[in-house]
Amino acid sequence: MGKEYGSEPLGKVLYSGRRPRRRREWRGFRDTWYDYTRWLYYLSVLARFMMKPNNFKGFFRYRWMSNYLAVPDFMDRHTEGLRGTALRLAHEGIGLIVIDMTLSLTDMFKADPEIGNDTELSKKMVIFDENMMSTIMGGFRNLKWVSYEVPAIYASSFMCQEGVMHYVDKTHEYGVPTDVCPMPAAELGAAIDDDLPKIGACAVQCNTTCDGSLMGGGLMARSMGIPTFQLASPIRHRQESVQEYAGEEILNAIHFIEEQTGEKFDWDYLFENMARFNDETKEFLEWLEINKTPYPQLLGATLGFYRYGEYMAAGGRSPLFLETSKKITKLATEAYRNKEMACKEYRHRAILWGVQAAYYTAFPNWLMNCWGIVPINDMLCCVSTEMVSTTDKHQALLDLGYLYENMIMRSRSNGGYETGVEDLFRICEQMNADMVIMYVHIGCKSMAGYHGLFEEEARKRGIHWIWVNHNLMVPYDGTRRDMRTEVNRYMRTILKEEPVDPSLEDFDDSLCW
């Protein structure tokens, strides 16, 4: 027990085989005190959130809200084993996402006809798909971007591993086959179950990640009861010839929002937000540079969650994200200079490819703590880092079009072999990675289609390749323990290694949040 990494056998001291943890982790006085005060802070944020009458009503109106009881545990999971700067980076990054979510929920419940019934606010809201970037809303000064699928489904599943199973079941009862991706299935299930707020002046849907997601959106539009626009972003997004169409579709979406809300698109406001967005991108590039070195700092879930929130949801509109990004860069740079580590041993540098399991987003922490596998980059973070023009309207449209083509996940699931396979091995080379943790999301057809090619290419380049099966939001099809077992087997039988923390090799967390 102490401030050093690996000072406690985490598998034994934290996991009891039941839902709550045995006790809080002891990280030495300084880090434990910091962690505990942050934990109390999240509790106070939740308490303040619940004290608002609308939010209180919302908690009992929507089944998925109960998943948010697990927020403090969610933070504990994603800071497991961390010390020093790595711990602080996780709290800075992931903590901001939690706070941002409470603000978004507060607005949603206020506008909800069944709760706050603020019709004026509702008329100012534009509903976006869950996997769709909010960036174009940066040109509408008086409108609010809302994506209710994020708190209802996407984040719910992060909080509690079985959090959206009910909605997936609803969709299967409706007749959708069980082999489709659980995410659009759960979203559709929530719509079928009348468990999404009826808010907004209009909605914009997008052919985001995959064919299933697109089809789920089409059916959901039926239940929304508001005008919807379908933004068709090109699929072969690396081809120069598609960029013009991508830009035109962005313009069509802008015109649609203008027509439905009566608001005029404000280019100056967009440029202001895009300047901030570009600055955020620059900070992100700094983190990647640090991660290329032997002392990477922003790792696994911290990098993934923060990038999602900043790139997809905030979209340059929130000064708070840029401030936090700068703070993160400062912390990470100092830690790099001091040669700080984020776990006890760095044995392998891994790229996480494919879609992560929403019910086990803390898996990268386990990889570090148990086996010393450092997740230095994640497919979901490998998105566009191109700058958006802040002076030329036509160029800005083209740049936005390119951004939308390169939304998180979509940038890799679409675009063909070049983006799905070739880029992976290029990134491995750039980041000095010797291992790929390949998530096999059972319902994801995009990556599964490269199964054999992945293996052949990895073999050719001498990259360790570990397949990890899961079913995104359905833990029964590939439990957290199953996922760990697949890594354990590879590490023991192929690499003949012993775990850094043997207590983490096998433990029961099936009943945990």
Partner 1 sequence: MKDLKHLYYFEKLLEDSYNDLCRQAQAEGKKAIGHVCFQIPEPLLNLPGCFSTRLRAPRTGSIEMGTYYMSSTLCEACRAYLERALEGGFNFLDCILAPDACAQMNRCVENIEKLGTNPKETFFVTYADVPMKSDETALKHYVKQMRIRVLEPLQKNFGVDISDAALRKAVEEQNEISRLITAIGDYRKCDNPVITGYEFAVLCLATYCCPKYLIKEKLQETLEELKTRKSDTPNKYRIRVVVVGSEVDDPEFIKLAEECGALVVADRYCFGSLPGRQVIELNDEEDILTQICRTYLQWGKCPRFFNQDKIFERRDYVDQLAKEYHADGLIYEQIKFCDYWGYERASAFHVMQEEYGWPVLSVDRPYSVRSSGQLRTRIQAFVERVEMKKIAEKKAERRAN
Which region among 61-69, 128-136, 149-157, 172-180 touches partner 1 (by CB under 8 A)? 172-180
Q: Interface with partner 1 includes 511 (CB under 8 A)?
A: no
Angle at 383 between CA 381 and CA 389, to 5 degrees: 135
Q: Shortest approach of partner 1 to residue 294 CB, angstroms?
A: 34
Q: Interface with partner 1 includes 248 (CB under 8 A)?
A: yes
**CA 206 from centroid of its chain's CA atoms:** 18
* List 99, 219, 226, 387, residue binding partner 1 (CB under 8 A): 219
Rank residues 94 and 424 by Cβ distance to partner 1 and give the closer one: 424
Beta bridge partners of 469: 440
Structure tokens at 205: 């849907």
Angle at 354 between CA 351 and CA 360, to 5 degrees: 90
Q: Interface with partner 1 includes 174 (CB under 8 A)?
A: yes
Q: Shortest approach of partner 1 to residue 133 CB, angstroms?
A: 18
Structure tokens at 426: 């290029």
Q: Shortest approach of partner 1 to residue 410 CB, angstroms?
A: 11
* List 13, 69, 121, 214, residue binding partner 1 (CB under 8 A): 214
Within 364-403, the residues that bind partner 1 by CB under 8 A are none
CA distance 82 to 5: 7
* List 119, 239, 338, 432, residue binding partner 1 (CB under 8 A): 239
Rank residues 221 and 431 by Cβ distance to partner 1 and give the closer one: 221
Residue from 84, 92, 87, 86 nearest 3 by CA: 84
Kindly give the pairing relationship between strand 202-206 and strand 348-353. Answer: unpaired
Which region among 158-166, 214-222, 275-283, 308-316 touches partner 1 (by CB under 8 A)? 214-222
* List 2, 20, 177, 294, residue binding partner 1 (CB under 8 A): 177
* List 122, 131, 207, 369, residue binding partner 1 (CB under 8 A): 207
Q: Interface with partner 1 includes 130 (CB under 8 A)?
A: no
Kindly give the pairing relationship between strand 144-146 and strand 202-206. Answer: unpaired
Q: Interface with partner 1 includes 232 (CB under 8 A)?
A: yes
Rank residues 256 and 366 by Cβ distance to partner 1 and give the closer one: 256
Q: Interface with partner 1 includes 417 (CB under 8 A)?
A: yes
Angle at 56 between CA 51 and CA 59, to 5 degrees: 135
Q: Residue 80 in contact with residue 39, Cβ under 8 Å?
A: no
DSSP 89-142: HHHHHHHHHHHHHHHHHHHHHHH-TTTT--HHHHHTEEEE-TTS--GGGGG-TT
* List 164, 191, 210, 299, residue binding partner 1 (CB under 8 A): 210
Half-sphere exposure for 45 (CA within 13 Å, toward CB): 21
Beta bridge partners of 374: 349
Rank residues 249 and 505 by Cβ distance to partner 1 and give the closer one: 249
Rank residues 180 and 424 by Cβ distance to partner 1 and give the closer one: 180
Question: 397-401: long-range contacts at Cβ-Cβ below 8 A with a sequence spacing of 24 or more?
Answer: 397/247, 397/248, 397/250, 397/251, 398/243, 398/244, 398/246, 398/247, 400/135, 400/136, 400/247, 400/250, 401/233, 401/243, 401/245, 401/246, 401/247, 401/248, 401/249, 401/250
Which region among 47-55, 78-86, 412-420, 481-489 touches partner 1 (by CB under 8 A)? 412-420
For partner 1, what does the binding mask look like between residues 440 and 479, x meaning CB under 8 A?
x-xx-xx-xxxxxx--------------------------
Q: Interface with partner 1 includes 336 (CB under 8 A)?
A: no
Rank residues 18 and 236 by Cβ distance to partner 1 and give the closer one: 236
For residue 147, the tally of other CB atoms under 10 A from its CB is 22
CA distance 223 to 217: 10
Q: Interface with partner 1 includes 225 (CB under 8 A)?
A: no
Q: Interface with partner 1 includes 226 (CB under 8 A)?
A: no
CA distance 399 to 402: 5
Q: Interface with partner 1 includes 128 (CB under 8 A)?
A: no
Backbone dihedral region for residue 497 (phi beyond 0: left; psi -120 to 50: alpha; all else: beta): beta
Q: Interface with partner 1 includes 255 (CB under 8 A)?
A: no
Instruction: Determine phi and psi for 413, rounding to 5 degrees.
Output: -75, -20
Q: Interface with partner 1 includes 259 (CB under 8 A)?
A: no
* List 71, 87, 143, 181, residue binding partner 1 (CB under 8 A): 181
Residue from 79, 54, 76, 77 nearest 65 by CA: 54
CA distance 112 to 114: 5
Which region among 128-136, 168-176, 324-332, 339-347 touches partner 1 (by CB under 8 A)? 168-176
Within 285-324, the residues that bind partner 1 by CB under 8 A are none
* List 249, 286, 310, 378, residue binding partner 1 (CB under 8 A): 249
Rank residues 62 and 454 by Cβ distance to partner 1 and give the closer one: 454
Binding site for partner 1 (CB under 8 A): 174-177, 179-181, 205, 207, 210-212, 214-219, 221, 228, 230, 232, 234-236, 239, 241-242, 244-245, 248-249, 252, 413-414, 416-417, 440, 442-443, 445-446, 448-453
